[in-house]
Amino acid sequence: MGDTTTELSDAELVRGLGAGQVEAMRELYRRYGTLAYSLAVRILGDPGRAEDVVQDSFMRVWTYAGSFDAGRGSLRTWLLTTVRNRAIDYLRGRPGRERRELELGFELPAQGPGSDPWRDVSESLEREALRKALVSLPSDQRQVVELAYFGGYTQREIAGMVQVPLGTVKGRTRLALEKLSSYLQGRGLIDVG
Amino acid sequence: MSVDHEELENSIAAYVLGSADPEDEDRLRAHLEACASCRELAARLAPAVSSLPLEPEPVKPPRRLEDRVVAAAAATRGASDPKPRSIRRVWLPGPPRVRVRFSGLRAGLAAAAVLLFAAGAVAGSSLDRLGAQRPAARPPAAEVQRYQLAGSGPMAGVQANAVYLKRDSLTLVDFKYMPAPAPGQLYELWLITGDGRAVPAGVFSPESDGSKVVLVDRNLEGVKTVAVTAEPAPNGSQAPSQAPQLVGRIA
Ligand SMILES: [Zn+2]
């Protein structure tokens, strides 16, 4: 590990984590630590709590690396989904219910291995496209995504807050995700098969 | 498509976004199992949701966070069985320690657990095993103090959250990611007073996953600092034999 030019694939990294190699954990952190922390800060607005959430999320991946199935989603998605859900649980004072991060495996395997610069570039392209896609949504749809994903509100809660029927909130959610998907897919940034 | 199925599809979208209402989740999961077109829908929408974590402006984490993460991993590596057998554990109080009284424990313990949950301070932590229910009512804030202990070196990854219930004179310290003590040693908790006296407050060894909940059943009047050292098993020491590895100031 370390200064190799080709970096480890998710599957190789997961094997290292599953074998209890601390260096694999360091590599995982170096890849995704900033993304994870930025997400936690965005949701919590509290850097101290964000640190705890990030640590807990990495430890979850460390502990359950053996059950990770690379065929069902990327390591990045698993980790960041865990960060998001833990942050929301913290934020809302919910006991950590047994989330099914591993079971939300609808995603196809992410892009293959590449060098660090490649990842940085692809990440910033993805970020830029995502932001454009979000801005292009009608504001009521963007609001639902914001409240649901970053605020952790359920559909019923959003319906109550925004004072529209539940069915309307669900419809907006669906439309928003359909539009985001086709926007990102149209730019080749996500792979849907 | 029927109206009912369209409603289901929209609900599936909410589920993929992590926004389904809990009472709907079982129904939606069951439907996903049974309905290929909704599985396809979920698979189509999921990558967009996976991109959402990239929306926030990147914030560089403090350098210590890498140390915490790596130290926490290293701390659990020595566990005899690093892979947990189950996620939840049943917490059973052990035999009372010499210096930790357990009288009146049940009520205070339940109250402390409820409080921790109420604030979300340790959501998802080892306190799950206390089986606390959602809070009915919280005591006034003045009755409760919270503090955290910070570690260094091999203890850099330790999370230690404490809640002091003044009225019950009970402190509950929830440790996570503790390294296993060296052979022949265990950990000892100290209450350090304003004049520098270290009062022993109990000895403990973490579980194999590095977690432990320690109860201190006494008044913290005059105590300024809570600290942890490694001491000889099985009884610990009467005075700390090393510099503290974990320290928390009481506000
Ligand atoms: Zn269906």
Looking at residue B100, its pLDDT comes to 36
Does B66 contact A29 at a Cβ distance shorter than 8 Å? yes
| Long-range pairs of B192-198 with CB within 8 A, sequence gap ≥ 24 | B192/B223, B192/B224, B192/B225, B192/B226, B192/B227, B193/B222, B193/B223, B193/B224, B194/B222, B194/B223, B194/B224, B198/B227, B198/B239, B198/B240
Which among A33, A47, A55 has CB closest to B159? A55
Residues A131 and A175 in one domain: yes
Taking residue B242's Cβ as centre, other Cβ atoms within 10 Å add up to: 9
- Chain segment A11-67, per-residue pLDDT in tens: 889 999 999 999 999 999 999 999 999 999 999 998 989 999 999 999 999 999 988
Q: What percent of chain B has pLDDT over 70?
A: 73
DSSP line for B61-110: PPHHHHHHHHHHHHHHHTSSS-S-S-S-------SPPTT---TTHHHHHH
How many residues does this entry show for chain A?
A: 193
CB–CB of B182/B230 below 8 Å? yes
Here the tokens at position B185 are: 């040693």
Over chain A, what is the mean pLDDT?
A: 84
Do residues A120 and A99 both lie within one domain? no
d(CA B37, CA A39): 31
Q: What is the pLDDT of residue A8?
A: 80
d(CA B33, ligand 1 centre) in Å: 9
The list of chain B residues with pLDDT below 70 reads 1, 78-142, 251
Report residue B38 CA to chain centroid gap.
37
Which pLDDT score is estimated for B133?
36
Instruction: Calculate the alpha carbon distances from B212 to A45, B8, B250 in Å.
Output: 28, 43, 20
**Which domain, by its residues, includes A61?**
1-114
| Of the partner residues B39, B69, B132, the one whose CB lies closest to the CB of residue A25 | B69
Select the more confidently predicted residue: A189 or A103.
Answer: A189
- The rounded distance, in Å, linking the Cα atoms of B81 and B66 is 24
Do A172 and A123 belong together in one domain?
A: yes
Q: For residue B187, what is the DSSP state? A: E
- Same domain? For A110 and A127 the reply is no
Considering only the beta carbons, identify the residue of A62, A84, A93 that sits closest to B119. A93
DSSP 8-state assignment for residue A35: H
A147 CA → ligand 1 middle, Å: 25
pLDDT of residue A118: 67
Q: Sketch out chain B's domains with CATH numbers.
A: 3-54 (no CATH), 87-249 (2.60.40)
Residue among A44, A124, A177 with most chain B CBs within 10 A, to mutate:
A177
CATH code of A155's domain: 1.10.10.10
Q: How far is the CA of B31 from the centre of ligand 1 (A)?
A: 6
In a shared domain, residues A108 and A121: no
Instruction: Pick the residue of B44, B59, B69 with the most A CBs within 10 A to test the interface with A by mutation.
Output: B69
Q: B32 in contact with A at a CB cutoff of 8 Å?
A: no
Last residue of a domain, one of A51, A83, A114: A114
Percentage of chain A modeled with pLDDT above 90: 64
The predicted pLDDT at position B1 comes to 56
Q: Which residue of A has its CA nearest to B133?
A: A95
**Which residues sit opposite B189 in a β-bridge?**
B228
Contact in structure between A17 and B77 (CB atoms under 8 Å): no
pLDDT digits (tens, 9 = 90+) for A104-123: 444 433 343 444 666 777 88
Beta carbons within 8 Å of A120's beta carbon, 6+ residues apart: none
Alpha-carbon gap, residue A20 to B57, rounded angstroms: 32
3-state DSSP call for residue B55? coil
Single residue among A87, A114, A141 that ends a domain in this structure:
A114
Looking at residue A64, which CATH number applies to its domain? 1.10.1740.10
CA neighbor of B126 nearest in space, from B246, B215, B208, B213: B213
pLDDT digits (tens, 9 = 90+) for B169-182: 888 889 999 999 99
Query: How far is it between the farthest Cα atoms of chain B?
Result: 76
Whether residue A130 contacts residue B57, with contact meaning beta carbons closer than 8 Å, is answered with no
Q: Look up residue A90 and give its amino acid.
A: Y
Better-scored residue on pLDDT, A124 or A60: A60
- Both A140 and A91 in a single domain? no
* A181 neighbourhood in chain B, CB within 8 Å: 44-45, 47-48
Q: Which of A91, A114, A137 is the last residue of a domain?
A: A114
Of B44, B61, B76, the CB nearest to A33: B61
CB B196 within 8 A of CB B224: no
Same domain, A82 and A140: no
Task: Verify whether the Cβ–Cβ distance B53 to A80 is below 8 Å.
Answer: yes
Tell me which residue of B222, B147, B227, B138 sits closest to B188, measured CA to CA. B227
Number of domains making up chain A: 2
* Max avg pLDDT among A83-87, A88-92, B172-176: A83-87
pLDDT, one tens digit per residue, over B127-180 is: 333 333 334 455 556 678 888 888 888 899 999 988 888 888 888 889 999 999
Please give the model's pTM, rounded to 2 decimal places.
Answer: 0.74
Angstroms from A92 CA to nearest CA on chain B = 7
B19 and A73: CB-CB below 8 Å? no
* B159-165 β-sheet, strand order: B198-204, B185-193, B223-232, B246-249, B144-151, B159-165, B170-176, B212-216
Select the residue of B48, B59, B125 nearest A37 (Cβ to Cβ): B59
Question: Quick check: B187 and B178 in contact, CB under 8 A?
Answer: yes
Give residue B111's pLDDT.
Answer: 59
- The residues placing their C-beta within 5 Å of ligand 1, an ion, are B 35, 38
- Alpha carbons B38 and B28: distance in angstroms, whole number: 10
Mean pLDDT for A147-151 is 96
> Are A44 and A128 in the same domain?
no
Provide the pLDDT for residue A193. 46
Considering the domain architecture, whether residues A21 and A81 belong to the same structural domain is answered as yes
Is there a single domain that holds both residue A148 and residue A166?
Answer: yes
* Same domain, yes or no: A151 and A92: no
Residue A131 and residue A101 share a domain: no
CA distance B38 to chain A (A): 11
- Highest mean pLDDT range out of A162-176, A177-191, B107-121? A162-176
Spatial distance between the Cα atoms of A35 and A76, rounded to a whole number of angstroms:
9
